[in-house]
């Protein structure tokens, strides 16, 4: 019996030792959330809600993880359960406010946040901290509206006043300032965090991101390496290092290839440290889009699509990758699915760009152009990219008028002088004018665009500008019996230019000859000066033996009966 009793005692002791080893605290779960190990954190928190069924705080953090993972319904249900357990649970009211923000219900969010504050203790900074995080979580496409960033800063400043030694508050406050490009305030907040805890990996990583914003890639990488030295398993450090290397690659072509390879490897490291969860794979997919690695993107997206619980965003990645890998039908099917499944606030401008390209590739240029214009309207920094595609579509169809209009729309939307595009705008308006479309306003638009380009070029105007302004003026000049001389100033400029810079190509010689031919015609019909006409037509013929105006003049002098060419041909 004694032996059995001893064995039982040993066994019982092992049970308690095992429980101590495998026990997981709320602090462990919070560390996992900070390290973006969301699956791991969720498992811990679900276990804690069973072992500690009366803790409303556990329910809050579980709901917070759901919200981070974009499962708003599960988050709301969990926060509501926390309030049912403890009606004065300030954090769970904050959680409901964060859910409202995610649904663009600003009034509902404010109401829930106010309720949270009303039940918050005087020495409790955590509700204010998470109100700040909620506003920062509400970023769309990585951008924080100033009003929400300011609301976050107000809440976080209150949290800092209550507890100036909270490192998480300092880091989050720095993030809020950084979102508004207030680098000095962000740096002060991060340094405050590092003063409180020099081994704070999140503060080191946040400082590294700030250096990246300043394009100081060397110091940025050093800061991430410092974080990795403190905790080699802190995934976000590898992700931000990868983002920094990607940005440096895009900015410096000399290191681009090597940096992109390093970036992809570091991002893979991040994935392995974050459980390869659906959420981390989705972030990896976003990174691959920005890095331009569409082969890997297709692999990751295909892997995600096989998971029954995959976020609908997988269709976005499948669409992007399929387009870049020239699988247009699959890409269009995927993006159509994304637009069907996604709520409007989840659609990115880039989604319309790829949708438009895929529609064009599938032969539907009308819808494709509509989507590309939508992209330009939603992202004003990408107007030129969108219109480059639109213009290429019209050019391929030899649709001169719509090509001109597309250039016109582009130059009106971009707030900088697109000189070359104004030139093409003018040229295509010129070519749009014809006997089938004798709309004189097209000539006005053509000359206006060319005039803008000429003024923008100052004293470095190429002869092609004068050439097309002369041709536009020629169409308004009347026939040889009613010449006004409208093209004269431009043809004189061409002669002046080529006299100083003798043409060498046949194309330039023909343009030079065109100027002399007009001067010859003007002298012949307007000035009735045959000597001057002869001189100019001789120069035209020397430069271009096939000049119609010059050949007609000399045939006429030699007794020919040909009809005079009325206009210079296009």
Ordered DSSP codes for 488-541: HHHHHHHHHHHHHS---SHHHHHHHHHHHHHHHHHHHHTS--HHHHHHHHHHHH
Tell whether 319 is covered by a domain: no
**Closest to 425 measured CA to CA, from 459, 457, 392, 402:** 402
Q: Does residue 550 lie within any of the structural domains?
A: yes
- 385 belongs to a structural domain: no
Q: What pLDDT sits at residue 310?
A: 80
Question: Residue 562 is part of which domain span?
Answer: 484-570
How many CB atoms neighbour CB 392 within 10 A?
Answer: 13
Residue 316 is predicted with a pLDDT of: 96
Alpha helices (H) in 252-345, listed in sequence order: 256-273, 278-291, 294-305, 314-324, 328-341
pLDDT at 449 over 80: yes
Let me know if residue 5 belongs to a domain.
no
Say what the pLDDT of residue 559 is: 74
Nearest by Cα to 509 from 557, 475, 467, 480: 467
Kindly report, residue by residue over 87-141, the tens digit of the pLDDT: 999 999 999 999 999 999 999 999 999 999 999 999 999 999 999 999 998 665 4
Lookup result for tokens 């995959």: 310
pLDDT on residue 430: 97
**Angle between helical axes of 183-196 and 201-213 (0-180°, round to 10):** 160
Residue 562, domain member (yes or no) = yes
The answer to whether 557 and 544 are in contact (CB under 8 A) is: no
**Residue 514 pLDDT exceeds 90:** yes
> Per-residue pLDDT tens for 136-185?
986 654 457 889 999 999 999 999 999 999 999 999 999 999 999 999 99
Q: What Rg do the C-alpha atoms of the chain give, in angstroms?
A: 35
Residue 346, in any domain of the structure:
no
Chain mean pLDDT for the chain: 91
Q: Residue 554 CA to chain centroid, in angstroms? A: 61
Count of the separate structural domains present in the chain: 1
**CB contact burial 495-521 (16+ within 10 A = b; e otherwise):** bebbeeeebeeeebbbbbbbbbbbbbb
Cα(335)–Cα(368) distance, integer angstroms:
13
Q: Is 159 within the bounds of a domain?
A: no
pLDDT for the residue numbered 145: 81
The pLDDT tens digits of the residues spanning 358-408 come to: 999 999 999 999 999 999 999 999 999 999 999 999 999 999 999 999 999
19, pLDDT greater than 50: no
pLDDT, mean of residues 549-566: 76
Is residue 348 domain-resident?
no
The model carries a pTM of 0.69
| pLDDT at 9 (0 to 100) | 36
Over 80: is that where the pLDDT of 564 sits? no
Q: What is the dihedral of CA 61, 66, 67, 72, to 10 degrees?
A: -130
How do residues 309-322 score in pLDDT, each as one tens digit?
Answer: 788 999 999 999 99
50-81 tens-digit pLDDT = 999 999 999 999 999 999 988 999 999 999 99
At 319-372, the pLDDT tens digits run 999 999 999 999 999 999 999 999 998 999 999 999 999 999 999 999 999 999
């Amino acid at each position: 019996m004694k032996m059995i009793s001893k064995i039982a005692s040993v066994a019982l002791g092992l049970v308690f030792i095992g429980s101590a080893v495998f026990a997981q605290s709320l602090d462990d779960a919070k560390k996992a959330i900070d390290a973006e190990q969301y699956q791991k954190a969720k498992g811990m928190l679900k276990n804690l809600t069973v072992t500690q069924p009366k803790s409303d705080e556990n329910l809050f953090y579980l709901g917070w993880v759901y919200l981070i993972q974009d499962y708003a319904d599960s988050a709301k249900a969990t926060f509501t359960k926390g309030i049912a357990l403890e009606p004065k649970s300030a954090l769970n009211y904050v959680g409901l406010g964060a859910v409202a923000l995610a649904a663009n219900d600003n009034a509902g969010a404010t109401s829930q946040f106010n309720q949270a504050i009303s039940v918050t203790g005087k020495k409790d900074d955590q509700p204010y901290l998470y109100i700040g995080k909620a506003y920062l979580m509400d970023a769309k496409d990585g951008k924080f509206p100033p009003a929400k960033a300011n609301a976050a800063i107000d809440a976080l400043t209150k949290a800092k006043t209550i507890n100036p030694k909270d490192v998480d508050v300092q880091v989050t406050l720095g993030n809020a300032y950084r979102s508004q490009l207030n680098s000095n305030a962000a740096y002060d907040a991060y340094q405050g965090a590092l003063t409180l805890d020099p081994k704070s990996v999140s503060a080191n990583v946040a400082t590294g991101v700030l250096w990246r914003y300043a394009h100081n890639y060397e110091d940025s990488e050093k800061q991430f390496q410092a974080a990795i030295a403190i905790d080699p398993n802190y995934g976000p450090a590898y992700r931000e290092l990868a983002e920094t290397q990607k940005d440096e690659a895009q900015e410096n072509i000399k290191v681009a290839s090597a940096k992109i390879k390093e970036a992809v490897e570091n991002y893979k490291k991040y994935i392995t440290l974050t459980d390869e969860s659906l959420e981390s794979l989705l972030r990896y997919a976003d990174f691959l889009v920005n890095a331009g690695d569409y082969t890997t993107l297709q692999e990751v997206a295909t892997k995600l699509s096989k998971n029954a619980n995959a976020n609908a965003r997988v269709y976005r990645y499948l669409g992007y990758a399929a387009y870049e890998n020239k699988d247009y039908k699959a890409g269009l099917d995927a993006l159509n699915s994304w637009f069907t499944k996604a709520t409007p606030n989840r659609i990115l401008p880039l989604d319309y760009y790829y949708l438009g390209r895929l529609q064009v590739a599938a032969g539907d240029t009308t819808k494709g152009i509509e989507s590309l214009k939508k992209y330009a309207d939603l992202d004003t920094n990408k107007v030129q990219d969108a219109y480059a595609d639109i213009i290429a579509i019209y050019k391929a169809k030899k649709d001169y008028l719509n090509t001109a209009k597309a250039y016109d729309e582009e130059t009106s939307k971009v707030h900088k002088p697109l000189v070359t595009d104004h030139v093409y705008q003018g040229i295509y308006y010129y070519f749009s004018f014809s006997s089938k479309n004798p709309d004189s306003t097209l000539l006005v638009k053509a000359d206006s665009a060319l005039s803008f380009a000429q003024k923008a070029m100052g004293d470095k105007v190429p002869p092609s500008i004068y050439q097309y302004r002369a041709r536009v003026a020629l169409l308004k000049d009347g026939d040889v019996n009613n010449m006004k001389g409208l093209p004269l100033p431009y043809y004189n400029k061409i002669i002046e230019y080529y006299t100083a810079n003798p043409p060498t190509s046949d194309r330039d010689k023909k343009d030079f000859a065109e100027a002399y031919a007009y001067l010859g015609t003007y002298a012949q019909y307007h000035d009735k000066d045959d000597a001057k006409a002869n001189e100019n037509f001789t120069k035209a013929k020397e430069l271009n033996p096939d000049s119609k105006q010059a050949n007609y003049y000399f045939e006429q002098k030699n007794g020919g009966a040909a009809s005079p060419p009325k206009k210079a041909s296009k």
